[in-house]
Structure 1
């Protein structure tokens, strides 16, 4: 259990999909002849739907940073996300030097270049099984985030991204602490199910 309290748990490449409500009118104050400048345009998605890919992390002391991923995810992009978000999150959450990075076995996480990058940057990782959704404590946070973002009814990609960041920042530290504290029960349930699905 002591180890679980030190686990820093990121989530990679998760898509949030919502149905946009395109009947909502938006008004923009602008100067003459600037209608098509980027700052005066609100992006919309045809056919009433869209998604964003985000990376997030948390520890027992609360949520860390949430990053929106643009374009294709590969090892280089993953390393850039880690570089820009892990250490700042560790500082924000006031974690001690004994923190451990938890990631799954996605090829981008275990590639030679990522392994070398993690070693060079002295980031210790937690050994992790290949198929383990019931073991990842961040899945509950992800479920809750989808629910609250959907309830806010974003009407375009920009709003969806902003709502994700807003709601992630609102996650109470007590919620994160409960997820880490219940990790022992999660492990027992997975062992009892012989690696099969559990209620988590």
Structure 2
């Protein structure tokens, strides 16, 4: 599993999660990578987007967001179709499907290669589609969308 950070400016850090993710390990990933990624993207202010996975919304994690003055977007339940990074993961899976069988090591390397070569214009398109995605959810009254 990987944790990745994107903005309309492109991709930033990609972190391989080698063991079962817990609230504590998620907080550690955030503390080691989120603010550094924001600095590297020259983001003075940003709103962080994540799903409602219990480890993402645990008090331990929310306390870290509060301590670091990070605004987190409130997220509706069961709404992965809203999150632009899901389109990035789908794109990576599509690229991997064109390659064929890989060893675990080759797969890790290929995921990283694809991640760091993603065009900024593609990421910007996915991020900018968020508004359309939200409108689509309202249009279909919370049912599944094309995203």
Which of the five TM-score ranges fits, normalised by the shorter chain?
over 0.9
Q: Please state if 1:192 is matched with 2:139.
A: yes
Structure 1's consecutive aligned runs of 4 or more residues displaced over 6 angstroms after TM superposition are none
Aligned length: 147
Displacement of 1:161 = 0.9
CA contact (8 A) 1:78 1:108 kept: yes
RMSD, aligned α-carbons: 1.3
Identify, as 1 or 2, the structure richer in helix. Answer: 2
- Which structure shows the higher strand fraction? 1
TM-score by length of 1: 0.69
How many angstroms does 1:154 deviate by? Answer: 5.0
Q: Which runs of 5+ in 1 are unaligned?
A: 1-52
SS of structure 2 residue aligned to 1:56: strand
Q: Distance in 2 between matches of 1:154 and 1:76?
A: 34
* 1:135 and 1:186 in contact (8 A); partners too: yes
1:190 Cα offset (Å): 0.8
2:50 corresponds to 1:103: yes
Per-residue displacement from partner, 1:109-137 (whole Å, max 9, x unpaired)? 11111111221122221111111122111
Structure 1 residue 161 and structure 2 residue 111: aligned? no
Confirm or deny that 1:182 pairs with 2:129.
Answer: yes
The yes-or-no answer on 1:113 pairing with 2:60 is yes
Q: Is the 8 A contact 1:154 1:163 kept in 2?
A: no
Q: Give 1 or 2 for the bigger CA radius of gyration.
A: 1
TM-score, normalising length from structure 2?
Answer: 0.93
